[in-house]
Chain A
Amino acid sequence: MRAFLHGSVHLHMIQFERFEIANGLKVLVHRDVSTPMAVVNVLYDVGARDENPAQTGFAHLFEHLMFGGSIHIPVYDEPLQLAGGENNAFTTNDLTNYYCQLPAENLETAFWLESDRMLSLAFSKKSLEVQRKVVSEEFKEHYINKPYGDVWHKLRELTYTVHPYRWMTIGAELSHIENATLDDVKSFFHKHYNPSNAILVVAGNITVEEVKRLTEKWFAPIPAGEKYVRNLPVEPKQEAARSKTVKAKVPLDALYKCWHIYPRTDMRYYIADLITEILSGGGSSRLFQSLVKEKQLFSNIECYHLGSTDAGLLTIEGKLVKGVKMEDAEAGIHEELMMLQQDGISQRELEKVKNKTESMIAFEDMSITNRAASLAIYELLGDAELINKELDRYRAVTADEIKKESNIIFDEKNSNTLYYYADN
């Protein structure tokens, strides 16, 4: 991420129009006249999973370089700020997303800026030098200089044997970023940053006609480039439980358990998502009530997944109450999972987690920025219309499916455990 960002992307019931221009750029338009603003969101179909294992962290470093000047425009930020606009970007293991918001009257400024950096960067040596340092400090701030900061580095290496989800977006090690050269930057740009690998979403107080006119003017002249064809190694089915033990300078013992789940577009994804809600979605959820409140094994416990495009992970993590033994804490989790596997859930509990999901959809951040990013992400998954089908998919999940999937997912052979001990 270029700068720290609050909130997350939720689901929305929204209207949009779609068209594609000759060079392969896909364009979505979402009109909302209740705001005076416009959002221009450009998603590139490249994430950390597309990196060379010897040059990890590159997609994210590249995100920073996209602000270091483009071929005709020496700086990106100033003209945008002068037009009353703001911008940010984020990189995940799956994709890189750039967005700016500005008064709708100044929409063309965003088209000018975004099209020029899709055409070509300036490839400034100074920018690379500075951003290498900035990203190194980001790496230190979030992953080295924080207690438990290296957990996901270790979990990814434990859970994935061949799939590039083996490394974090920030990179597997600092040296990969420190050693990046200008030639690496150029070849990465030419491979991934072109119209056929991009999705443009324009949202807010705009018209489809205006967006079509501006897209033709600014983006149509950009050469199509070569479509990048992704061919990633598939993670084989895990056949035996794995575990790793770590000692570190942290104040409390912690326990992390991960199980492989399904790709984002698999219908079983929705079942897995509701399972995380049952286990830790709120003050009445199972793990919190049983293990934090009643048995007091953990001082906090969470269950979540990252919503990754390829098959992801369902994770339970918690910090142990001082004096509790690791095996007792683990047995506590095990017992809760067994109960779900054997007894399933009641209709009321199922209704509860579905209501929470519905509420999340109704409560979604009303900002057009989030809606624009969601549309781009769903389009990347195959069809932006998915955005309006999500609630029905959650509603369709049955108690039987929850029980069945909890037996498949929480199979011991599918588990990965990280025992993280306080070294003192």
Chain B
Amino acid sequence: MNRIEAPVIKDAIEFNLQLKPCRQFTLNNGVPVYAIDAGAQEVLQLELVFYAGNWFEQQKNVAAATSYLLKNGTSGKNAFQLNETFDYYGAYCNRSCYNETAVVTLSCINKHLPALLPVVREMITDSVFPETELDIYKQNSKQKLKVSLQKCDYVATRLADAYLYGETHPYGKYTNPEDLDALNSSLLQDFFKQYYLNGQCVIFVSGKLPENLPEQLNNAFGDLGLKPFNKVIPQIAQLPAVEKKYRIQNDVNGVQGAIRIARPFPNRHHPDFMKVMVLNTLFGGFFGSRLMSNIREDKGYTYGIHSFVQNHIHDSAWMISTEAGKDVCEATIEEVYKEMKILREEPIDAEELLLVRNFLIGTILGDLDGPFHIMGRWKNLVLNNLTDDYFYRSIETIKTISAEELQELAKKYLNPEEFYELVVI
């Protein structure tokens, strides 16, 4: 038998990719709901997205603390009682705080939704932020921060963001212990009033959805003082660092250095964005990328090296990230720049381009698996003020972008002098 020759394949770019359409309706107060009904299991995931991220806070960490403490006490239930209710029904109620948004996520078996929606309503209308709960939060967050600050990758990530956007910008600021000390309950209560009680909200729900879901959601949230997103987020000035290169000693016993190489990059609305997603894949976006093939699979300098464009709604950055042996950090950086140079100077050959196209299409095909993943795609579109047209244009870009276009993009963006460069040991 012939084991040398590969079996015939169907090129993934021949596949017809479809994003399952999203159902839309609005609650009585105008809050929009996006729904994906799919899957076999009787479960669902409900996400309430508030425009209550750290973009809107006047003092550091207020948004994150408010989001975290939504489950730590209402006027009728203490933290234990709230937690016990979710736990008893085998449900998960998570809070996450991002830059522009803060999200409350309920994951549960469908049959328990009627029992759980009133509890979520209670959290987002009647949280009281008890001082004792805040004190525990402050103490434990400070301890966690202390441990994180000993890790070179944590320190490098936050410094890179500070260089790119400035320490006063929502994308660049970071928490110090004294910021946690400065929090008090009334700050959180005021933030809660403005950005949750009377805030702007959009709802995403996915799973095998019950028929009366619109009615259930309207009963739970339709009469609240929430408004739809007015599409205005205040501008905040960036203060990028002038100095481009940094070498920082964080741990005298460190055996590895965390390397970050990053440059500013526009958001998804820029015409280059989706094309650069293809170039990035080739450069450092998957296991077979140029950076991985050279720096891990040929040199063995690191366990992994990746490049990516930050998932930001406003301005973004294109970043290369790795942890490498202390003695090979400088050699690693040199190789990264070498790979940029090759992309600028030599067009990618047809075989590698086809591989990247097939890989990307195959990945999207595999990723549209189940209601939660499909909703993940939709949520990203909606929050970035895009439609499914963006999805289809991205697919088209993957299938048709040329080697010449990729080389032009490399010439435009992959110039070492435009990158910040940081090593934290």
Contact = CB atoms under 8 A, between A and B. Distances in A.
B39 A130 contact: no
Contact of B362 (A84, A356, A357): A84
A299 interface: yes
A362 B41 contact: yes
Contact of B300 (A103, A137, A145): A137
B312 interface: no
Contacts of A135: 303
Contact of A112 (B7, B143, B298): B7
A401 interface: no
A235 interface: no
B36 interface: no
A358 interface: yes
A283 B140 contact: no
Given A137-B324, A249-B253, A300-B144, A72 B3 contact: yes
Interface stretch (B86-94, B121-129, B209-217, B336-344): B86-94
B39 A366 contact: yes
Number of chain B interface residues as a range: 35 or more
B90 A86 contact: no
B325 A140 contact: yes
A377 B88 CA distance: 30
Nearest to B302: A137
A141 B366 contact: no
Interface stretch (B159-167, B225-233, B351-359, B385-393): B351-359
A43 interface: no
Given A82-B354, A359-B91, A362-B109, A130 B297 contact: yes
Contact of A37 (B71, B139, B365): B365
Contacts of B42: 362
Nearest to B303: A138
Interface in B298-324: 298-304, 323-324
B146 interface: yes
Contacts of A283: 71, 79-80, 82-84, 86-87
B301 to A, nearest CB: 7
B123 to A, nearest CB: 13
B66 to A, nearest CB: 17
Interface in B137-177: 139-140, 143-144, 146-147, 149-152
A95 B259 CA distance: 33
A103 B91 CA distance: 34
B253 A141 contact: no
B90 A356 contact: yes
A140 B79 contact: no
A84 B359 contact: yes
Interface stretch (A185-193, A266-274, A347-355, A408-416): A347-355
B237 interface: no
A133 interface: yes
Contacts of A221: 1
A134 B302 contact: yes
Contacts of A366: 39-41, 369-370, 372
Interface string A304-345: 000000000000000101100000000000000000000000
A348 B152 CA distance: 45
Interface stretch (B8-16, B47-55, B375-383, B405-413): B8-16
Interface residues of A, number: 82
Q: Pick from A106, A281, A357 the residue with the most CB of B within 10 Å.
A: A106
Q: Pick from A77, A141, A249 the residue with the most CB of B within 10 Å.
A: A141
Q: Pick from A4, A132, A299 the residue with the most CB of B within 10 Å.
A: A299
B139 A134 contact: no
Given A134-B296, A359-B109, A145 B12 contact: no
Interface stretch (A155-163, A194-202, A236-244, A288-296): A288-296
A147 B304 contact: no
Interface in A104-121: 105-106, 108-109, 111-112, 115-116, 119
A300 to B, nearest CB: 7
Contacts of B96: none
Contacts of B146: 251-252
Closest 7 CB pairs of A and B: A84-B362, A133-B300, A359-B90, A283-B83, A84-B12, A355-B90, A284-B84
Interface of A: 3-4, 34-37, 71-73, 77-79, 81-87, 101-103, 105-106, 108-109, 111-112, 115-116, 119, 129-138, 140-141, 144-148, 217, 221, 249-252, 281-285, 289, 292-293, 296, 299-300, 319, 321-322, 348, 351-352, 355-360, 362-363, 366-368
7 contacts: A78-B355, A86-B362, A129-B300, A137-B323, A145-B251, A145-B254, A249-B253
